Amino acid sequence: MSRPAGSGGDGGDPSTGPDRAGQPEPDDGAPAFRPDDAVLPASDGRSSPPWNVPERAAPDDPGDRRADPVAGGVGEEDDGDLIAFSADQEDEEERRARAGRGRRGLLLLIGGGSVAVIAAGLAGAFTVLRPLMKPGDYEGKGTVPVVVEILPGSNAGQVADVLVQAEVVASARAFVQAVEDRGKSGGLHPGRYRLRKRMAAVEALNLLLAPQSRIRRRVTVPEGLRAVETVARLAKGSGLPAAELSKILARPAELGLPAYAKGAAEGFLFPATYDIERSTTPRELLRAMVRRFERAAASVGLQEGAARQRLTPGEVVVVASIVQAEGGREADYPKIARVIYNRLASGAKLEMDSTVMYGLGKHGIMASNAEIKRDTPYNTYMRPGLPPGPISNPGEAALIAALRPAKGDWYWFVTVDPQHRITKFTDKESEFVKYREELHKRVGRH
């Protein structure tokens, strides 16, 4: 039978692996090293001197919404006096007011005005209100982890604003005060730091000064890489030994894989951006990728969606991995998934070149006639149904396409222009042959 998908995809050089230059990078919101991280915008990566600490404290944080300590608010001044009355004290208070004309004071009203306490004189007022003027602050060492980034050239006030935005400290004033109380800014440098939400300002400063809190590197793993390629990318970007990462990959029982992975990591190392700390181990990093997959699976409803497709969750991941490997543009992913499901429903073989090449340990999505004739568990020209496992690590878009395929009768697809990722779909074999010839002419294959 004619080959339906010997031509989908990205046109990568089989000798060097798939060319992912045209594919979008994974979302950095991702997620960072741990699932509950929140990541603020990245800096430009340039080095800079330590933070500049201002001589004076930053102005009040606009987000600080503590209640006014004076019940009912502070009244307007009238010739130096602040006057209020209770109903049965009018005459007495009138005399006191006249006698004290010219003196400055503050009046605290308690219980709706039934009791009046006068703290006369500026010195007395400051003494009374000083405890209430303390900037808002949390207590303790915080709650859930959060990653924040301090940009080059930031002063203490700007750093404080970042921490407030990330819900690390309660107010900018509290953090600036902690920096000033420390008496020096040495050791405070820009970079990415792992802190915690709702920390006391002094505790946040302590972590910013601790070398172990500073994140070492960031690594972005794109969609569609195989597990061995993922390990190479992680080793290059993180500085972790490739040999150690490979050893952990060879012991999938240590990775916390879901049961439907059937003990294989391929397909479950989720493509995203990961923060690598100084203390991160190869095992922790790979386990974080599996946890990130589980978050994505829950987000797209993998378990429920698989039941609707009458597949297991693991089989949906297999379909998504083929969609990821064959697909050019995300808009085509649901159509590619539909071709797969249409062929499975009809009892036809999938005949996907991407699976053939995976089984041979090669790259590319245009298998030769000789390669198609080589029998492996992944040769979908020779074997019916889905291959025994995923052939790449799919991203969220491919998972969604596998769960929600487009509606259509397509039975074949050909990416006729790999450079511009233009794919054509058809339910007629004659059109498929024409599309395939168009591709072969474009790439110079006869």
Q: Quickly state the pLDDT bin for 324 (edges 50, 70, 90).
A: very high
Question: pTM of the entire structure?
Answer: 0.62
Instruction: Return the pLDDT at 421.
Output: 83
CA-to-CA distance for 363 and 382, rounded, in angstroms? 19
User: pLDDT tens across 35-71, in order?
Assistant: 333 333 333 333 333 454 444 444 444 444 333 332 2
Instruction: Return the pLDDT at 185.
Output: 53
The 10 Å CB-count burial string (b at 16+, else e) for 109-133 is beeeeeebebbeeeeebeeeeeeee
What single letter denotes the amino acid at residue 71? A
- The answer to whether the beta carbons of residues 250 and 413 sit under 8 Å apart is no
User: pLDDT tens across 179-236, in order?
Assistant: 988 875 556 788 889 899 999 999 999 999 887 788 878 899 999 999 999 999 999 9
- Give the pLDDT mean for 77-96: 35
CA-to-CA distance for 327 and 309, rounded, in angstroms? 20
Q: Which residues pair with 217 in a beta bridge?
A: 276
- The answer to whether the beta carbons of residues 222 and 25 sit under 8 Å apart is yes
User: pLDDT tens across 361-380, in order?
Assistant: 998 778 889 999 999 999 99
CA-CA-CA-CA torsion for 40, 46, 49, 54, nearest 10 degrees? -40
Is 64 or 327 the better-scoring residue by pLDDT? Answer: 327
Sign of CA dihedral 279, 208, 143, 237: negative
What single letter denotes the amino acid at residue 252? P
- The answer to whether the beta carbons of residues 26 and 223 sit under 8 Å apart is yes
CA-to-CA distance for 218 and 39, rounded, in angstroms? 12
Listed by start position, the domains of the chain span 36-66+116-215, 217-299, 302-443
341 burial (CB, 10 Å; 0-12 / 13-18 / 19+) is: middle
- Out of 185-194, 246-255, 260-269, 270-279, least confident range: 185-194
Q: Quickly state the pLDDT bin for 15 (edges 50, 70, 90).
A: very low
Q: What is the largest CA-CA distance in the chain?
A: 111
Closest CA to 306 of 405, 408, 378, 411: 405
- The answer to whether the beta carbons of residues 6 and 354 sit under 8 Å apart is no
- Give the pLDDT mean for 316-343: 95
- Give the pLDDT mean for 171-177: 93
CA-to-CA distance for 397 and 333, rounded, in angstroms? 8
